[in-house]
Chains A and B, each alone.
Chain A
Amino acid sequence: MVITFSGVLTGILLTPVIGAIVILLLDDESKEQARIIAALATGITLLLALGVFLGYSVDDANAAATAAAEAVTDEAAAAEGEVVEPYFAFEDHVQWVESLGISWHLGVDGISAPMVLLTALAGFAGVLISWGIQDRVREFMAFFLLLVAGVYGVFMAVDLFVLFFFYELSIFPMYFLIVIWGWPVTREYAAMKLTLYILIGSVVALVGLLALYFKAGAATGVYSFDFVDLNIAAQQGVFDTPFLGGWSAVTTARLWFPAIFIGFGVLAGLWPFHNWSPDGHVAAPTAVSMIHAGVLMKLGAFSALRVGVQLLPEGAKAHLPWIIVLAAVNVVYGALIAMRQRDFKYVIGFSSVSHMGLVTMGFATMNLTGMTGAGMQMFSHGVMTALFFACVGMVYDRAHTRDIPSLGGFVQKLPMVAVAFIVGGFVSMGMPGLSGFVAEFPIFIGLWKGPGFMPDPDWVLDSFNYYGAIALITALGIIITAAYVLRVVGQVFFGEFDSKRFPHITTITLYDKIALGLLMFWLVLLGVYPRLMAPMIESGVRPIVSMLGG
């Protein structure tokens, strides 16, 4: 049964799937066709995703969110249990498994629309950069397209069963891509480690979601996995009642929030569950590292926000103040480890861990500024890290080593790669004028402000500026970031070029240039014109913040 169907999002999701099927039907010799079909499929989805991004109406979203804020502040309305339906644009809503309350419900809000665009950018750039792959091109492209489709599915899912379906669907192409085309030294170990870590996190979160599903179903009489229904149940306070009777402090929200948030947080590289990520990034082939660090880690952060914070605001209030410590460790410790690496790709791998800590931290501020910054950081870091991995891949493909001390002077041979890497480096350091600044600055402002529900008389840590102290510690991470980025830039791209050791460094192809240019364009564009995205993310964050009482 069709409820609404605009078809755009389903189109974005199905185009790569269809592309993958067509590629699988080709014969083994048609390498060029496989590449072209993959480029077409990701190119079409990029155009559609741009359409979604530009067509998303911030005004409509804000109108819905203002109503939500009024409903929460208006005591009388709150007492009557007035709730506001969360806003989604471009909805596709078709019944799938009616008896279990599962429907094919896709839509984007202010947070997921930029994520869809990010996936499209990284996917298209990934195909262009993989043009040179010779071994089993057909299968590479097919699995790559399936991975991209899985990622889209998570970002666009409104029904949380659909979210899980695609979350787990993206696991097996990932495994294949790393284990077949990855770096031979560690690929088997890394692929298995990554798969098991991600699966453990996601199934723990799944059990949490089932608990919410039954709780909400028993309370409202409607058993549904639809985010809209569950969010309304959350607004009615269904999850704030004791979970099993007895202890009134152990509410559903407080009990299950850590399972869901940290379960998804595994994929976001949350310390101490980040260990899979540098290994995975390094072992993966370039295009997969780009998707992996650029997009897949955002999948974890995004799902933690959508299923964790948005359904269990009371749990978020209780737990995020201590989870923020994990995030601070992420930022500082990740940066310190990155500093110590000799392997070019491991530097970037740990820098991702460090930067993803800022995203979690932005969520944990629980105010509008900080959470908007976290949304911006997800996009900015996604593009930036895709660019980084693309650069690393191009250097490695030519030099056949990633040992930083033995590289040097590559700016002479690969000027465009050097420029791209330096742009990425500045973004990473949070240089004003680039997207990193407009993302990280709000996060720090948000940290100083602290959560909206503070000061809370029950809140023991409020006697000193707890969030402010975290901000100070985290700032260290930014300084270390600058240090390791400059070290890598200096040692890899500048300095002496050893022409005896690297006699045949070829220039990069046109496809590579297009991919690098495309990614750099967005980093600069957002830096000089943040209004392109900030209001959109703000419109998605506003209802969350009003649920958190901020």
Chain B
Amino acid sequence: MNFSTDVQASVVAVLPEILMTVLAVVVLGLDVLWPGERRRDLGYLAGFGLLAIAGMIWLPGLAPQKELSGQLVFGGMVRHDELAEIFRAMVIVAGGLSCLISMGVPRLRDRGDYYALVIVSVIGASLMSAAADLIMVFIALETASITLYLLAGYLRDDDRSAEAGLKYFLFGAFASAIMLYGLSLLYGFTGETNLYKLGRALAAGDLNDAPVLIAMMLIVVGFGFKISAVPFHFWTPDVYEGAPTPITSLLSTASKAASFGLLLRFLLAVFPPPDLLDAVESVTDYSEYWVQLVVVMSVVTMSLGNLLALVQTNIKRLLAYSSIAQAGYMLIGVAAIATDRSADGAAAVAFYMFMYVLTNTLAFGVVIIFSNATGSDQISDLGGLSRRNRWLGLAMTLALLSLAGIPPAAGFIGKFLVFRAAVDANLTWLALVGVINVIIGLYYYLVIVKVMYMNDSPDDQPITVSTPYGWALGISAAGVLLLGTLLVSPLINWATDAAQSLYVLL
């Protein structure tokens, strides 16, 4: 296997990250130079800067090369393919929108260091989806995680935020250590760090199964923590509730998207089904094991997430359990990738994640506006939201319908694709479990809608939406609506391209 030594290709492959680094430095510099009241505009700079960088991915000159050897750059550290491209686009968009919705939160909005931390976290997340080497995997993961620990506890004088930061850090550090142990075992077995070489060495290595499976499980635990899959989800509700809401949004979108991108690549590259290797001699197949693991995790995650969401009274905790359940649906798609060769499963995950990023940003954006106006995160206090600002009511309804999977929101197509992939991969029973969960989910999403439209609020003052929120909510609402109707086809094609690049292991 050869790596590209083309310097220009290497630079192009990480150009978004280079630009984001520049952006972070500029934000930090202006934080010093600009007077206090102007610093709020740093949010515009960071937000629209990130969105512009995300938009650059479509520039023709930056498209990935065709062969794998051309895609593996920086000595095999980074793979520049369509999968990296689509996941990178969603994490950068998620970061940009999070910056915009930070601009209404007191004690965050005028802090340059806050915006710079968000950007650095996005750099880490963005590299995760492109990482093709154990070293890069871990560095990217930690860049994203450590900044998120800081951000979750950013409001130091708020007890709940401080608690969230500490909790996230303790759980996260523990999970990272477990995962690192797994990674180091893999290195020990094979002496390779590049994921693709590692996968071939493992398959051909004639190793004892048990230690490899232990390493696999340790790594899956690490991923399980990042995507908040049951039983590694315990941190999620507390951290989501306590962290500043824009960071909750970032945690549930960028961090999760990057982890799913990495999970897809890692499982298929390191533990590939044998037919993908074109191997002459017989090789060991570890893929059955992780499919089992993922299937079990998926069933437990969606069922438990949905059931616990039923009893929540705090909107942020409810969205936390809902995001656990949503991770369960996406794991259905991950379980399908080992057996289907039409790339349906991975494409479904990519599509689902893309629409989920926009949907969740929309939901959390509304939550911030509403808790600023009422000083509460309780669902019962959402009463009368539709009378106080009908566009906010509609936006939240759209987000909830998308999460529930009801057309015309994009969530319908996302769920449809995931179940389709499951049926295609002969996992019809898993699709049926998913379907039952969709119905449970619909119940609690509709209850929120009912509260917004039916219940009265003590205070009937209209709620105004400031400009940055107008942008963030407008972009995400338009995305959710269009991706569910007119733009379904382009995104599915992009996701399918991305998914197909996943199967190129040579």
A contact residues vs B (CB 8 Å cutoff):
24, 28, 95-100, 139, 161, 164-166, 168-169, 171-172, 175-176, 179-180, 188, 191-192, 195-196, 199-200, 203-204, 206-207, 210-211, 213-214
Contacts and interface: CB of A to CB of B under 8 A. Distances in A.
Nearest to A180: B453
B402 to A, nearest CB: 11
Contact of A210 (B401, B406, B420, B438): B420
Contacts of B450: 179, 188, 191
Contact of B488 (A97, A175, A192, A206): A97
Contacts of A203: 435, 438-439
Most central of B406, B449, B493 by chain A CB within 10 Å: B406
A207 B423 contact: yes
Given A99-B489, A179-B453, A195 B442 contact: yes
B407 interface: yes
Contacts of A171: 406
B364 interface: no
A164 B454 CA distance: 28
Contacts of A96: 488-489
Q: Which 3 A-B pairs have the closest CB atoms?
A: A203-B435, A210-B423, A169-B407
B interface, over-half SS:
helix
A192 B443 contact: yes
B419 interface: yes
A200 B439 contact: yes
Contacts of B416: 161, 164, 206
Contacts of A99: 489, 492-493, 496
A196 B439 contact: yes
A206 B406 contact: no
A301 to B, nearest CB: 22
A305 B428 CA distance: 24
A165 B493 contact: no
25 contacts: A95-B489, A99-B492, A99-B496, A139-B390, A161-B416, A165-B408, A168-B406, A168-B412, A169-B406, A169-B408, A171-B406, A172-B401, A176-B449, A176-B453, A179-B454, A180-B453, A188-B454, A192-B443, A196-B443, A199-B439, A203-B435, A203-B438, A204-B432, A210-B420, A210-B431
A100 B435 contact: no
B41 interface: no
Interface of B: 386, 390, 394, 401, 406-408, 412, 416, 419-420, 423-424, 428, 431-432, 435, 438-439, 442-443, 446, 449-450, 453-454, 488-489, 492-493, 496
A523 B314 CA distance: 52
Most central of B408, B454, B488 by chain A CB within 10 Å: B408
Given A200-B439, A211-B423, A175 B412 contact: no
A3 to B, nearest CB: 15
B446 A175 contact: yes
Most central of B432, B435, B438, B446 by chain A CB within 10 Å: B446
A8 B439 CA distance: 35
Given A165-B407, A179-B450, 18 more contacts: A95-B489, A99-B489, A99-B492, A99-B493, A100-B420, A139-B390, A168-B406, A168-B407, A169-B408, A175-B446, A188-B450, A199-B438, A199-B439, A200-B439, A204-B435, A206-B435, A207-B423, A207-B435
Contacts of B435: 203-204, 206-207
A165 B446 contact: no
A interface, over-half SS:
helix
Contacts of A139: 386, 390
A226 B423 CA distance: 18
Contacts of B408: 165, 169
Contact of B431 (A161, A169, A179, A207): A207
A203 B446 CA distance: 17
Contacts of B401: 172
Contacts of A97: 488-489, 492
Nearest to A244: B426
Nearest to A27: B390
A171 B423 CA distance: 25
Nearest to B386: A139
Given A97-B488, A195-B446, A210 B439 contact: no
A188 B454 CA distance: 10
Given A99-B493, A203-B435, A196 B407 contact: no
A146 to B, nearest CB: 9
Contacts of A176: 449, 453
A469 to B, nearest CB: 36
Contacts of B419: 206-207, 210
Contacts of A210: 419-420, 423, 431
B439 A100 contact: no
A203 B412 CA distance: 11
Most central of B407, B408, B438, B492 by chain A CB within 10 Å: B407
Nearest to A150: B407
A488 B229 CA distance: 57
A165 B412 contact: yes
A206 B390 CA distance: 33
Contacts of B492: 97, 99-100
Contacts of B394: 24
A422 to B, nearest CB: 37
Contact of A192 (B406, B424, B446, B453): B446
A139 B408 CA distance: 18
Contacts of B488: 96-97
Contacts of B439: 196, 199-200, 203
Nearest to A142: B394
A242 B284 CA distance: 33
A176 B488 CA distance: 26
A188 to B, nearest CB: 7
Contacts of A28: 390
A285 to B, nearest CB: 14
A211 B493 CA distance: 23
Contacts of B442: 195-196, 199
A207 B416 CA distance: 9
B53 to A, nearest CB: 28
A28 B460 CA distance: 15
